[in-house]
Homo-oligomer: A and B are copies of this chain.
Amino acid sequence: MAGKLTRREVIAVGAGAVAAGLAGSVAARDAVATVERWGLHEVELTGEPTGNPFDVNLSAVFTDGRTTLEVPGFFDGANDGQGTWRIRFSPPGTGAWRWTSRSDLPVLNGRSGVVEAVAPGAGNHGPVGVVETFHFAHADGTPFRQLGTTSYGWTHQPEARRRETLETLKASPFNKIRMLVFPNASVKTNDDLAPFVRTGPGDKDWDFTRFNPAFFQRLDACVAALCEMGVEADVILFHPYDGRFGFDEMPADVDARYVRYVVARLSPYRNVWWSLANEFDVVKAKTADDFDRLGRLVQARDPHDRLRSIHNWRALFDNGRPWVTHASLQNGSAVIDDARAVLYRDVWKKPVVFDEVRYEGDIAERWGNLTGLEMVRAFWEGLVAGTYVGHSETFDNPDDDYWLGAGGSLRGQSAPRLAFFKAVMEAGPTPGFEPIDKWWERHVGGKAGQVYLRYFGEAAPDGWTVDIPRDGLTGGERFTVDVIDTWNMTVERLPGVMTLSQGATKYTWHDPERPVVALPSRPWMAVRLAREHA
């Protein structure tokens, strides 16, 4: 879907070549490299390391003459005494981008080249950003209507399981997945690949000054695979599910080194979002101020300016902090009722993503035993409130390796209904649904004067006495009427149109010829009015 993601430019020169002043001629030596706009261009530099190669400072300044970006590099392992460093760049615009490297290791300093960014291929819509305060869109303007899922540890599973997870995602409606960088100590199926070099047999015997490139190369590949499928990777940098490894209580300088390393590796993938933490307020060794500092570090080190958020348990983070691009909330209560969900929207004037609303499943923990009906309801309530929601599954099994922890396959009833939901969402207004007449028990989202979606949840009325809020209406507007069964996934277009005029009070409008839409006395129904354009 996304075309070829990466164009790798290999510049392998020894120390002697640098001494001979070959830097600067490298680009001229080859035909000019090309990469899609928003693709990933990788400069590979090799040389003999001195000292700890992870301590080498390396970056490259890329410029197209208008925009100049300093792009960090990173060490990616050594072979036969030759180290490999990489600088990954995702061009924000088309045209020629010239680069020059900066390093305190002479062999890596002063290199230069040029890469030509060409028009994006099919499926490459660019990175996702915030639009119209509360919504998302790709850089080319394509709406991004978030429909997320979570699988914390899918990247830490054996290869066959990872392939299964990707196949599941490909067949699913989900367009974003939350995933941990560090392993979740409680997932039994994890393999042994670790982010740091081991110094002994103990669970916490790590050399925190040396990363394990193989661990991160696998993570790269997982992110790239998601990118090629058009799935956003919400990469969780810290988490509290660490009874063993100590990655939740590293010293501050190690945290910062780790953040710089991951940002240098992953930010050039256009599908990356940064999640500073899962349940930040459960991470005992860090305060909200620590996460604020780390959030600012991500922002400062990421020339690609990917989306940034932080996920809570019981305490809300101050999502008003400037580095936070959207609210990533855990709250299963808020999405039971659109009139709850809508309350958070005004607070930070940023998009609200309910990234955790409890999970469809049957485990004893109360956060993991939603019915499929309840899981699906959360999305509809969130939609008419102008917010976005996330899914996951926790169906009990002897190994605790359900989708939430380890990926694999989906077993629940919600995923197909969420595909139907997604189709209704995508047929809605651009860039997204707005709550209509918030705070007045309307339970209507859409776009005033254009489209209205009234969701009835578990109520099972035999009809809806139409009460469309007046904003955006002047009288005489004509609307088609669809009756939607959100669980049985049907849309019934009623005959004729509804012509709106003021109703019994000045606040709500209706069609006096058709004041009621008949409904089948079943729960989980919705009605959609869509403006008929002549």
Question: Hey, which bits of chain A sit against chain B, CB under 8 A?
Answer: 314-316, 318, 320, 331-334, 336-337, 339-340, 343-344, 346-347, 364, 366, 438-441, 505, 507
Contact A346 B439 (CB under 8 A): no
Nearest B residue to A340 by beta-carbon distance?
Answer: B340
Contact B337 A505 (CB under 8 A): no
- Min C-beta distance of A357 to chain B, whole Å: 10
The CA-CA distance from A438 to B364 in the complex, in Å, is 19
A-B contact pairs, 17 of them (CB 8 A): A315-B346, A316-B346, A316-B347, A318-B320, A320-B320, A331-B343, A333-B343, A333-B438, A333-B439, A333-B440, A337-B337, A337-B339, A340-B343, A344-B347, A347-B347, A364-B505, A366-B507
Contact B333 A366 (CB under 8 A): no
The CA-CA distance from A320 to B439 in the complex, in Å, is 22
A366 / chain B contacts, CB cutoff of 8 Å: 440, 505, 507
Tell me which of B316, B343, B364, B505 contacts A334 (CB under 8 A). B343
The CA-CA distance from A72 to B481 in the complex, in Å, is 65
Q: A366-B507, A440-B366 are in contact. Are A333 and B339 (CB under 8 A)?
A: yes
Contact B505 A333 (CB under 8 A): no
A336 / chain B contacts, CB cutoff of 8 Å: 339, 441
A318 / chain B contacts, CB cutoff of 8 Å: 320
- Min C-beta distance of A281 to chain B, whole Å: 10
The CA-CA distance from A318 to B337 in the complex, in Å, is 24
A507 / chain B contacts, CB cutoff of 8 Å: 366
- Min C-beta distance of A282 to chain B, whole Å: 15
- Min C-beta distance of A15 to chain B, whole Å: 54
The CA-CA distance from A394 to B337 in the complex, in Å, is 29
A320 / chain B contacts, CB cutoff of 8 Å: 318, 320
Nearest B residue to A330 by beta-carbon distance?
Answer: B439
The CA-CA distance from A441 to B337 in the complex, in Å, is 12
A440 / chain B contacts, CB cutoff of 8 Å: 333, 366
Contact B333 A441 (CB under 8 A): yes
- Min C-beta distance of A337 to chain B, whole Å: 7
- Min C-beta distance of A410 to chain B, whole Å: 26
A314 / chain B contacts, CB cutoff of 8 Å: 346, 438
The CA-CA distance from A318 to B507 in the complex, in Å, is 29
Contact B505 A331 (CB under 8 A): no
The CA-CA distance from A346 to B320 in the complex, in Å, is 13
